[in-house]
Amino acid sequence: MCGKGGKVYITEDMLRAIVVEQSKKGPTGRNQVEQLEFCEVQKLDLGSRHISRIERLWEFTSLTTLHLNNNNIQKMEGLSRLTTLKCLNLSFNNIVKIEGLESLKKLEELNLSDNRITVLENMDSLEKLVSFNMANNVLKNLRQVCCLKKLKNLFTLNFCGNPLSEEENYKLFIIAFFPNVKYLDYRYVNSEIKKQASVKFNIELEKLSQEDLEREKKTEALKAQQAELQTHVDAFVESLNGSFLFEHMFKDDPLENKLQSVPEIAAQLFTFKQKMTELCVQLFETGLVEHRRRQAEVNSFFTSHSLTTADIMQKETKLLGEFEKYFKELKKESAATSQTDHTDELTKLQKHLLTLEFKLISQIEMMIKKLDVVLSEMIGTFSETAQEIFAQCRELEDKYHEKMQGIVTSTIEKVSRHHGVEDLSDDVKMVFLDKETVMGALTTAHENHLLIIRDRENQMITRANAWKSRLIKKLQEKEIQRNRKVLSHITTCVDHYDEELHKLFSR
């Protein structure tokens, strides 16, 4: 379909015609070609057709090679579903930006030569890339080529015709920073030029190597930290390995900051924080231990599940193998027997297979129920421990509040007599001039603190029970799906043999 300015748009009819045309050139016959589905096509050549936009290619889910060279394409798009693509040729177009390649993780060859690209970007996911052709583009900064160092499999590079290729020591730079490259700008990279490059950029290579090492260490440290935090979340005890809960209780309490100017209050707050933190850490450590115990039970379940399933499958395979052998012998001797006898044998096979499957269902159901009981007991024990510790936290808050009331009452009297409060600032003294207000604020803060503790307790217990329920439900649903597939397979298998028997005795 041609639009204004001679632009060509990809249509289904065009694709169908091209698939048929290109397949005729191969070993496939015409009748087969005309029935070929887009999802079966592995190679597609759309080069030199004045195409202005990449579209309508989502059905080519088996495509490994795609040529779109010598067209009028300006934007890299419409490629995200071509996840099997290994070779992509977009040379001789009007592309200005590298994009849309994130899902092409199997790509090995990429040709973007003779376009108008100015920046190397959006290529981190192309870890399998072996050949990259960027000849005759508008790359100016030689240093930006280093962003490709993450692609460890690069074997062939081409940057000739770019402004950066005119820089001094261009080839030595590329060869030094990409020691695995064998071909640069269509020329073989020999050991002698590799040695020259290494000597020329030795200091920069060492610096870059050190930077890579530091970056790798930071990445590994971040991964380890994220993994540890995820373990805390999975154990339902995140942010309990310190004073986080205590600080959360007081973060929106501006009055508390002023009250801490009173030495007695500061001392009480310090003691409260210390004891509260100890309880939280105790719960945190208990949670991690319980998490490991739960995980061990789950792992044990999956191990038993695999062994039990493998045992039944082995028996099913043996039965099918024996019947297949029996059926082959039957073909040789069918004239001397009746179909009824062999239909009985097929019925026996079906009965044995179903018996094995029902046995497996029963065993797995029992295993899931046992796991449910064990995990319920574990979650129950953990919840009881959590409730006890959170109850102690509330007791600490009650005692702290009680002592605070006494200290505040005493301080109010001192302020009213202007005695023993010389070290307090005027704005703090002002707080103690209105007894009703300050005591009301204390009560409100106390209620908020208790609410925060209760919310954290409820959150922990609710999440723990929800995790167990989700896991058991998922296991049950997965088993139902497995059972349906097996029963369908048995039915298909028996129907097949029944049909073959019918054909055999109908001759």
**Residue boundaries of the structural domains of the chain:** 4-200, 244-505
Q: Parallel, antiparallel, or unpaired for β 156-158 and 65-67?
A: unpaired
pLDDT score of 117: 95
* Pair of tokens at residue 48: 């030199």
pLDDT score of 507: 61
pLDDT score of 273: 94
pLDDT score of 24: 72
pLDDT score of 438: 85
* Pair of tokens at residue 165: 């290729």
pLDDT score of 9: 83
Residues of the chain below pLDDT 50: 1-5, 28-33
Q: Which CATH architecture has domain 4-200?
A: Alpha-Beta Horseshoe (3.80)
How far, in Å, CA of 421 to CA of 154, rounded?
Answer: 75
* Pair of tokens at residue 150: 């993450």
pLDDT score of 437: 85
How far, in Å, CA of 428 to CA of 443, rounded?
Answer: 18
* Pair of tokens at residue 488: 């369908």
Q: Looking at beta carbons, which pairs linking 379-387 to residues 24 or more positions away fall under 8 Å? A: 379/294, 379/464, 379/465, 379/468, 381/290, 382/286, 382/287, 382/290, 382/464, 383/460, 383/461, 383/464, 383/465, 385/283, 385/286, 386/283, 386/287, 386/457, 386/460, 386/461, 387/457, 387/461
In three-state secondary structure terms, 27 is: coil
pLDDT score of 122: 92
pLDDT score of 192: 87
Q: What is the pTM of this model?
A: 0.66
* Phi-psi region at 185: left, alpha or beta (left = phi > 0; alpha = psi -120 to 50): left
Which are the contacts of 375, defined by CB distance < 8 A and separation ≥ 6? 294, 297, 298, 468, 471, 472
Q: What are phi and psi of 45, to 5 degrees?
A: -110, 110
Instruction: Determine the length of the chain.
Output: 507
* Pair of tokens at residue 75: 């934007």
369, 506 contact by CB (below 8 A): no
How far, in Å, CA of 415 to CA of 431, rounded?
Answer: 10
162, 168 contact by CB (below 8 A): no
Residue at token pair 């065009």: 14
**What's the start-to-end Cα distance of the chain, in Å?**
56
How far, in Å, CA of 298 to CA of 374, rounded?
Answer: 10
* Pair of tokens at residue 24: 């005729």
pLDDT score of 208: 72
